[in-house]
A and B are shown apart, each in its own frame.
Chain A
Amino acid sequence: MVFFWAFLVGGIICVIGQLLFDVAKLTPGHTLSILVVSGAILDGFGLYEPLIDLAGAGATVPITSFGNSLVHGALEEADKHGIIGVITGMFKMTSSGITAAIVFGFIGALLFKPKG
């Protein structure tokens, strides 16, 4: 059942992105930034967590979850260490995405040659 919800929720988030491309005529950079900020705000109101419970990867794979995880890590750490935790915990839960992007970007540049 979670596969069905993952497909549906993930697909709908992508349609929102496509509408921002086509109807609002935004660049991909603007669209991704808006979605990340909305993910952060949704988590601020505690609305993103129920979506992950429902849809699993449908909510964690789209870029909105990057904003959600940033807020989540910051709040978790702030719970333990007070306001300074907002800074120290920021990348706690998104570390893998950033690390993977940097490491695989480097390996990709070693292995592959640019085309054209």
Chain B
Amino acid sequence: MSNKETSYQAYEKKLEPKRPVIKNCIKAFLVGGFVCVIGQLISTFYMYYFHFTEQTVGNPTVATLIFITMILTGIGVYDKIAQFAGAGTAIPVTGFGNAVISAAIEHRTEGFVQGVGGNMFKLAGSVIMFGVVSAFVVALIKTIILNWSGM
């Protein structure tokens, strides 16, 4: 890198606004915690009325949260909450749902086949890919170790 470039980057760094890290973390903690409490309320409801166990109740809870995300994204409220909360709404499964649903809504002008179908997993695809690949490796290693040591 030339001298000019490095000095430009130093200049750029100086002008970059400082991120209020602690304030952001408190917001993320409160909103993220709140989302999880809502999730716990939904879980308790499913366990009480539909006889799910503590291990299986995650499944319908996630689906319900994604449904709520669809409504909030569609009416434009989700964006405002997300702007305030940062990671507080991005890290819970609502962030995953929002990534899929907002991409689907955004691309509907290009048609349902090329637009909605083709772009739905544009943002969330990386989560699924890294999740599946890492889970595959972990599960494979664990299965091999268990089979070798167990039998």
Interface residues of A (CB under 8 A from B): 2-3, 6-23, 28-29, 31-33, 35-37, 39-41, 43-44, 52-53, 55-58, 60-63, 65-67, 69-71, 74-75, 78, 82-83, 85-87, 90, 93, 95-102, 104-109, 111-115
Instruction: Give how many A-B residue pairs fall within 8 Å (CB-CB).
Output: 262
> What's the interface size class on B, roughly?
35 or more
Task: Tell me which of A9, A60, A111, A113 has the highest count of chain B C-beta atoms within 10 A of its own C-beta.
Answer: A60
Question: Which chain B residues lie closer than 8 Å to A43 at the CB level?
Answer: 138
Listed by A's residue number, 18 A-B pairs whose Cβ atoms lie within 8 Å are: A6-B37, A6-B39, A14-B92, A15-B25, A22-B24, A29-B123, A39-B131, A52-B55, A56-B43, A65-B58, A70-B139, A78-B143, A82-B143, A101-B97, A101-B101, A106-B120, A107-B70, A108-B74
Question: Which chain A residues lie closer than 8 Å to B100 at the CB level?
Answer: 101-102, 105
Report whether A14 and B28 are in contact in the complex, using a CB–CB cutoff of 8 Å.
yes
Please measure, in the bound complex, the distance between the C-alpha atom of A8 and the C-alpha atom of B29, giving whole angstroms: 8
Question: Which chain B residues lie closer than 8 Å to A113 at the CB level?
Answer: 105, 108
Interface residue SS majority, chain B:
helix
Tell me the minimal C-beta distance from B38 to chain A in angstroms. Answer: 8
Report whether B36 and A10 are in contact in the complex, using a CB–CB cutoff of 8 Å.
yes
Question: Which chain B residues lie closer than 8 Å to A87 at the CB level?
Answer: 136
